[in-house]
Amino acid sequence: MSIDRLSPLPTALLECSVVDGSGQASTFEEMTRSQPTLLLFVRHFGCIGCSENIALVAPRFGELHTLGVRNVIIGCGAPNFIQGFKERNRLFGQPVEVFTDPSLTAHQAAELNYGSWGGFGPKALYEMARAYVSGQVSGPIEGDIKQQAGAIFVDGEGQVQLYHRADSLGDHVNTLQLVEAAMAMRIDSHPELV
């Protein structure tokens, strides 16, 4: 199994289930069916690098939503951590949904990196300091600290348009590439807009 650009999401990922803060389950197939979707995976809900990642991507949620994109964040902590994560990252009122997969099954199916080096190696320590200096704060550990983040953007047919697999806690998806992929998808599906 491999996640490649212009290929469909793997069946193993489509069948994975995640839950929201109230415990309501959704599969990736349901989330990505017939609508372009950004699947933004975070390490754990208290991660300083993930706070930095959200600070970079959140200002684009409205723009992506206007382009018809469903914005979804997936963590790996307990569902009761979602509320605090949304508060710390000022996500209320934003066009974004937050889910979690404490089993890490979805993170594994998305082929995201797993290991201590991505959170505690020299590069990660530098990135942690960078995030701190930029005003981000580290919260309590709310999930698996070895799990690394990533992003998958799929079009309305479930074809992968962008895939980012983080190597460390400060390795974030490029927001410009993300918006460009969403704009290109929108133009391809609505050429009359050009």
pLDDT in tens, 149-185: 999 999 988 899 999 998 887 888 888 888 888 888 7
Average pLDDT of the chain, as a whole number: 88
Distance CA 189, CA 176 (A): 20
Residue 11 CB coordination number (10 Å)? 12
Q: Which of 108, 36, 112 is nearest to 72 (CA)?
A: 36
| pLDDT tens digits along 108-141 | 999 998 987 666 777 766 666 777 788 887 888 8
- The two tokens of residue 132 are 């701190």
Distant-in-sequence, close-in-space partners of 191: CB < 8 Å, separation ≥ 6: none
Chain centroid to CA 147: 13
Would you say residue 85 has pLDDT above 90?
yes
User: Which of the residue ranges 4-18, 65-79, 105-119, 145-159 would you say has the lowest mean pLDDT?
Assistant: 105-119
pTM over 0.85: yes
Q: What is the pLDDT of residue 192?
A: 66
Q: Is residue 144 scored above 90 in pLDDT? A: no
pLDDT at 82 over 90: yes
Rounded Cα distance between 104 and 16, Å, is 10
User: Burial letters for 37-63: b for 16+ Cβ neighbours within 10 Å, e otherwise?
Assistant: bbbbbbbbbbbbbbbbbbbebbebbee
pLDDT of 93 reads 93
Q: Find tokens 């017939």 and name the residue.
A: 34
The 8-class DSSP code of residue 10 comes to P
pLDDT at 75: 95
| DSSP state letters, 89-139 | TT-TTSS-EEEE-TT-HHHHHTT--BSTHHHHSHHHHHHHHHHHHTT----
* Rounded Cα–Cα distance for residues 138 and 52 (Å): 10
Q: Is residue 19 within 8 Å of 97, Cβ to Cβ?
A: no
Q: What percent of the chain clears pLDDT 70, i.e. is strictly above it?
A: 91
Q: What is the mean pLDDT of residues 32-40?
A: 92
Q: What are phi and psi of 47, to 5 degrees?
A: -70, 130
pLDDT number for residue 27: 95
List phi, psi (to 5°) of 98: -120, 130
